Amino acid sequence: MQKKTIETNIEIYSFEELDNAKQTLINKAKEQVSKAYAPYSGFHVGAAIELENGEIFAASNQENSAYPSGLCAERIAMFFANAQYPDVAVKTLAIAAYTNGEFIADPVTPCGSCRQVLLETETRFEKDITILLYGTKNIFQLENVKQLLPLCFEKSSLKG
């Protein structure tokens, strides 16, 4: 038997420790929570994406009474950015969540489906996407999507 250890590296910051570009992106994600349609979960999520060309795309989660028909903020923002600029890599993604009248204290992470979509975009452009997860207590920064999805299924997996 062999044993393998997988680590996820997370840098933890306060908002004030981040540079202006990251603060701006988090604020864009925070603004989006007010645009979420979340009558079922009451969990409002905002996401903002900065592309390598400086363009920023932001979105919120959109629920549906037929649960699989809704979509997360991260995927909406990513698909819209990729549709508008299909040849421009994503630089950074920021995510914020709001529930029970306030932003959450501990950062929320993307769901499994969002992680897979984010990984596909990272793989597509062969460039790491910095992930910023906002919480009022602190902000997690991950260097790439593989830190969120270490045992990932990607293009190279299809080759066997």
DSSP per-residue letters across 86-142: TTS-EEEEEEEEEETTEE-SSPP---HHHHHHHHHHHHHHT---EEEEE-SS-EEEE
- Tens of pLDDT, residues 118-152: 999 999 999 999 999 999 999 999 999 999 998 88
User: What pLDDT was estimated at residue 159?
Assistant: 81
Q: Among the listed ranges 9-13, 67-71, 131-135, which one has the minimum average pLDDT value?
A: 67-71
Between CA 4 and CA 160 the distance in angstroms is 20
- Tens of pLDDT, residues 38-61: 999 999 999 999 999 999 999 999
The CATH fold of domain 11-149: Cytidine Deaminase; domain 2 (3.40.140)
In the numeric block, which tokens belong to residue 76?
A: 């909406």
The arithmetic mean of pLDDT across residues 5-13, rounded, is 95
In the numeric block, which tokens belong to residue 53?
A: 């060309």
Count of all residues that appear for the chain in the document: 160
- Tens of pLDDT, residues 99-123: 999 999 999 999 999 999 999 999 9
Q: Say yes or no to pLDDT of 160 above 80.
A: no
Kindly list the domain boundaries of the chain, sorted by start residue: 11-149
Closest CA to 50 of 95, 110, 106, 109: 95
Our CA dihedral for 144, 149, 155, 156, rounded to 10 degrees, sits at: 100
User: What pLDDT was estimated at residue 5?
Assistant: 92
Catalytic residues: 74
**pLDDT band at 158, cuts 50/70/90?**
confident
Using CA of residue 147, residue 95, residue 61, residue 88, what is the dihedral sign?
negative
